[in-house]
Amino acid sequence: MSETGTGKDQFLDLFVFETNQLLEQIEKIIINCEKTKSFREDDVNEIFRFMHTTKSSAAMMGYLSLSELAHSLEDLFALLRNNKNRSYDFHNFFTLTLAGVDAIKSFVSELENGTQPLESTNKLKEQIGLYIQELSSVDRLEPKVTKSKESMKLDDNTGNLPQYDLNVFFNDCGQSENIRSHLLAHTLKKYTTELITYPKELLKPGNSETIRKHGLHLLFNPSVLLSEIEEIVKSTVLLNRYTLEETAKIKDLQKRLESTYVQSMASLEQPKNAGASMHSDIMAVRVDKMDMLFNLVGEITISEAMVTKGHDLNALRADQFRRESERLSKLVKNLQDIVIEMRMVPLEHVFQKMNRTIISLADTLGKEISLEVYGETTEVDKKITEYLTDPLTHLIRNAADHGIEEKEERKRLGKPPKGIITLSANRVAGEVWVSVEDDGRGIDLQHIYSTAKEKGLVTKPFEEHSEKELFSYLLMPGFTTKEKVTELSGRGVGLDVVRENIARISGAVQIESKVGMGTKITLKIPLTLSIMGAMQVVIGKSVFSIPINMMKETIIPKDVKIVHHIDGNEIVMLRGQCYPVIRPEQQLGISGYEAISDGILILVEGHENSACLFVDKIVGQGQIVVKPLPAYIEKTKGCFSSCTVLGDGTISLIIDIKQLLNEF
Amino acid sequence: MQMSFDKPEEIEDTVKGKYLIFTIQNEEYALEIRVVDEILEMQPISEVPNLPAYIKGIINLRGDIIPVMDLRLRFYKEFREYDSRTAIIVVNIASTRLGLVADRANKVIFIEDSELIKPPEIKESDYNRFVTAICKTENKIKLVLDCEKILTDHERTELPSF
């Protein structure tokens, strides 16, 4: 029944949702601006529009201080908009804008959490107001000419111009010239500064053609010996030829290149427009509606299978029926695929947040760090993205804090002064691998061992550990190798919480590292939580499902030795290892076969321990749709937290292996 | 000539006063229609281990997994094998859906508030706490049940049932 309260809630929901959407887009723009250290005309307009919209909707909702803040930012950008030829100090503008957007963001998230937002935006408003006054009072006749768009891009931190032009041609790579170029540029980045490529957006597929025609141009200043750079270029795969020239007339060269690569410039503008039209291509749908749709489609799939594959028809010819039911089957399969796709969202949203994190991190730590992102279009189930944000944030914090060295140290080590953290995602089989890689210090295995020893965690000498085992110490609670706990990380709770969060979505954490070179931590997570591979087994009268990712192997009892303990427990000896046997009567409350020799043993593996589950027989295997058990019977769930509906309409309980091993 | 107008309150709530009558062990019970979603034929129930005996298991209702409670067992009566006329009454209380097994689902009748009588204060027997009122219509006594109590009350007084 609707009470008067829900009316306001609806508006609040909408306000929060829309403002968050806009905030995401604005953040993207701001981050780009930070990279190029300039506000392009489009950016200014976009930011102005955003502030304007926020001002009005905040006022409508009664959030006056938020509205006023947006208003002052709107004024700030109005100034920019109306005085296009003025020069301005990018840094001030950027800092104020960023502070403003942050304030709006935290205001909105307070609203989301249902807490009263702090009305403390006055100081910021004042600052902005003062700045605007300052700017407006300066004489309009300032002759300083704004740096043109092009020259803005030339400048970077050191303000130098690249002195060398490398022109590379590849052998026929069958359309992958852009990727080859990208790899080369990526490699060279580590050994150069002021690196500019033509075409600019290497990964755009259309550019392969351009690169084939004009080759790839790389303008740079080397930070190592030129001969070393040549060596790298020479060892590039599928290299056809290259020229490397020192050039003084950089500006002329650039003008020439810009017009040659006109195509790439056009493609640079395209994303902006694509972005604009994206606004209307996206629809917001309530999650519960999606869940209902998902449920129903699952039911249709089962129902269709039961109708079309029913035994009643075996004897009849019913040709047309069979033809039409095949068509129906295909349609239903399509429908199911689409519904699954609908729940997938690109990781872009999660990665966006990381971009933002890096900027403030680098600032706080006083280090120079750039974040490179790959594979942000990779999609995962929406529910999973919610579990990824915190772990990723922590990993990036770790990389920035512990991994990347201070500027001076990097210089001493011959590394480029700007540390690089690479965030990437890609699909591997039924999983998504998201990794955070840095080119920093790397992890010292000896150091891990000694810290673990101090905490009494080791059970064998250093030499007997595999690399994997040593790294796994890092994932234990309370572990930290940093001497001083910094505000950001180093409290030792981080990696353990990461591991647990990832384990909760049935994923895993992998650590790779080389001292002096860097560290790479990979999160391996399933594509979707609602569908997984499972094996169906019979115990007693019912069919149960066991998730395949928890299963190591199936064992026929007569192939192994079974030892009976005095206390009644049974143990299986397999290839020199001992595994306890789990009897379903004791642990699950279901009775099946008595003698182990009549049934099958399934070796299941948890994080810390493994065991053999004894079942009657295996009856099937395949992809299943996971449904949670009703909350009403939650208290008595035990080792069953979810179920699935099998192809014949019966319900099969899914055995929670983790819980089972915990309780054992 | 008397013109009877429907009183405004009655038009508003078309389910008010309507009760579903069902039978368990020759006694008739009543449940407000308001909480009843639908009535199903008996169908195979999937067992879930470690549940109280009166929860027989779960069923799949068009994609929704619903627990099923046997009212006979819930009321500490003798269990009766299910047959083709045994009904599962799907109720919905505070977003919790639950199926209740009854011997027969009979009909829907209208009971005036004035016809409802508070149950006699007999010794706190096992299932009296589920009964909110008694009504006598058509010469038969019907026990009106408190559905929420049936769902949430898990205390068991160790008394022999009458």
What are the tens digits of pLDDT across the range A607-619? 677 899 999 999 9
pLDDT at A522 over 90: yes
How far is residue B52 from each of residues A278, A389, B55, B56, B149, measured CA to CA in Å?
A: 53, 40, 6, 8, 16
| Average pLDDT of the residues in A310-322 | 77
Class of domain B8-157: mainly beta
The two structure tokens encoding residue A391 = 């772990």
Closest Cα in chain A to B98: A632
Do the Cβ atoms of A541 and B47 come within 8 Å?
Answer: yes
Q: Given this model, what pLDDT does residue A174 score?
A: 64
Q: Which long-range contacts (CB under 8 A, 24 or more apart) does B128-133 make?
A: B129/B153, B130/B74, B130/B75
Which chain A residues touch B59 with a CB distance below 8 Å? 651
Mean pLDDT by 10 residues, chain B (162 residues): 49 76 92 92 90 91 89 90 93 89 92 83 65 85 87 54 38
**Partner-chain contact B49 A298, CB within 8 Å:** no
Residue B14 to chain A, least CA–CA distance (Å): 15
Which burial class, exposed, middle or buried, applies to A544 when counting CB atoms under 10 A from its CB (0-12, 13-18, 19+)?
buried
Q: Is the dihedral of CA A462, A463, A469, A472 positive or negative?
A: positive
* B60/A542 CB distance under 8 A: no
Q: Assess B119–A contact: CB distance below 8 Å, yes or no.
A: no
CA distance, residue B1 to nearest chain A CA (Å): 39
A636:B52 CB<8 A: yes
Q: Give the distance from residue B151's alpha carbon to the nearest chain A alpha carbon, in angstroms.
A: 9
Cβ separation of B49 and A638 shorter than 8 Å?
A: yes
Hey, which residues does A428 pair with through a beta bridge? A431
The A-side interface with B (CB below 8 A) comprises: 295-296, 298-299, 541-542, 588-590, 627-633, 636, 638, 640, 643, 645, 649-653
Q: Is the pLDDT of residue A170 over 60?
A: yes
pLDDT in tens, A233-289: 887 777 888 888 887 777 777 777 777 775 443 443 334 434 444 456 777 788 788
Angle of the A4-36 helix axis to the A348-365 helix axis, nearest 10: 60
Selecting from B48, B62, B67 the residue whose C-beta is nearest the C-beta of A640 gives B48
Give how far B74 is from chain A: nearest CA, Å: 15
Strand intervals (E) in A324-447 = 344-346, 369-374, 379-381, 419-428, 431-438
Q: What is the pLDDT of residues A344-393, one digit of tens each?
A: 888 888 888 888 888 888 888 888 888 888 988 888 888 788 888 888 88
Contact across the interface for B67 and A632, Cβ inside 8 Å: yes
pLDDT at B70: 95
Distance of CA B137 to the CA centre of its chain: 17
Which candidate from B49, B58, B62 shows the least CB-CB separation from A651? B58
Q: What is the pLDDT of residue A437?
A: 93
On whether any CB of chain A is under 8 Å from the CB of B141, the answer is no
Please name the member of A541, A650, A653 whose beta carbon is closest to the beta carbon of B48.
A653
Calculate how close chain B gets to A634, using CA atoms only, in Å: 10
One-letter identity of residue A369: I
- In chain A, residues with a C-beta closer than 8 Å to the C-beta of B51 are 633, 636
Contacts of A168 (CB under 8 A, 6+ apart): A181, A184, A215, A216, A217, A218, A233, A236, A239, A241, A242
Of B46, B52, B97, the CB nearest to A542: B46
Cis peptide before A199 (omega within 30 of 0): yes
Do A310 and A648 form a contact (C-beta atoms < 8 A)?
A: no
| CB-CB under 8 Å, A650 with B66 | no
Nearest CA in chain B to A298: B63
pLDDT value of residue B38: 93
Record: contact A542-B67, CB cut-off 8 A: no
Contact list in B for residue A640 (CB cut-off 8 A) is 48-49
**Closest Cα in chain B to A590:** B49
The pLDDT-based confidence of A154 (bands split at 50, 70, 90) is: very low
CB < 8 Å to A649, chain B: 60
**pLDDT, tens digit, for every residue of A80-125?**
777 766 667 777 778 888 888 888 888 888 888 777 666 666 777 7
Calculate mean pLDDT across residues A537-556. 90
Query: Measured between alpha carbons, how far apart are the two ends of chain B, in Å?
Result: 54
Task: Output the average pLDDT for chain A.
Answer: 78
Q: How would you classify residue A517: left for phi > 0, otherwise alpha for psi between -120 and 50, otherwise beta? A: alpha
Look up residue A437 and give its two tokens. 């890689």
- Which residue of B51, B60, B148 to mutate against A (max A Cβ within 10 Å)? B60
CB contacts, 8 Å: B47 with chain A: 541-542
Task: Answer yes or no: do B67 and A638 touch at CB < 8 A.
Answer: no
Interhelix angle A382-398/A348-365, rounded to 10 degrees, is 20
| Buried b or exposed e, range B55-75, using 16+ CB within 10 angstroms | bbbbbbbebebbbbbbbbbbb
User: Which of A636, A640, A649 is nearest residue B60 as measured by Cβ atoms?
Assistant: A649
Q: Would you call B62 an interface residue with chain A, using a CB distance cutoff of 8 Å?
A: yes
Alpha helical stretches, state H, chain B: 8-12, 71-74, 147-152
- Number of CB atoms found within 10 A of residue A303's CB: 14
Give the β-pairing of A577-582 and A610-615. parallel
CA A274 to centroid of chain Cα atoms:
22
Picking from B46, B66, B67, the nearest residue to A650 by CB comes out as B46
* Calpha distance A489→A495 (Å, rounded): 10
Closest CA to A291 of B60, B99, B68, B64: B64
Residue of B nearest to A543 (CA): B46
Long-range contacts of A502-505 (CB under 8 A, 24+ apart): A502/A387, A502/A391, A503/A607, A503/A658, A504/A387, A505/A384, A505/A387, A505/A529
Is B15 an 8 Å CB contact of chain A? no
Residues 6+ apart with CB under 8 A from A129: A72
Please list every residue in chain B whose beta carbon sits closer than 8 Å to the beta carbon of residue A296: 62-63
**pLDDT the model gives residue B29:** 93
Q: What is the mean pLDDT of residues A308-316?
A: 73
Q: What is the pLDDT of residue A490?
A: 47
Chain B closest-CA separation from residue A291 CA (Å): 10
Q: Identify the residue among A292, A587, A624, A633 best suited for mutation to test binding to B, counting B beta carbons within 10 A and taking the highest.
A: A633
Tell me, what's the ipTM? 0.80
Sign of the CA dihedral running B55, B57, B59, B63 = positive
CA-CA distance, A484 to A402, in Å (whole number)? 11
Helices (H), A114-148: 122-137
Cross-chain Cβ contact B48/A631 below 8 Å: no
User: How large a percentage of chain A has pLDDT more than 70?
Assistant: 85
Any bridge partners for residue A261, and if so which?
none
Q: Is A634 left (phi over 0), alpha (psi -120 to 50) or beta?
A: alpha
Verify whether the Cβ–Cβ distance B63 to A588 is below 8 Å.
no
Q: Backbone dihedral region of A478: left (phi > 0), alpha (psi from -120 to 50 degrees) or beta? A: left
Closest CB from A589, A633, A645 relative to B60: A645
Tokens matching residue A280 = 């209307």
Look up residue A558 and give its amino acid. Answer: K
Cα separation of A527 and A431, whole Å? 5
Number of alpha carbons in the 13 Å side-chain half-sphere of residue B48? 32
Pick from B83, B85, B79, B100: which is nearest to B29 by CA? B100
Note whether B60 contacts A: Cβ–Cβ < 8 A: yes
First to last CA, chain A: 46
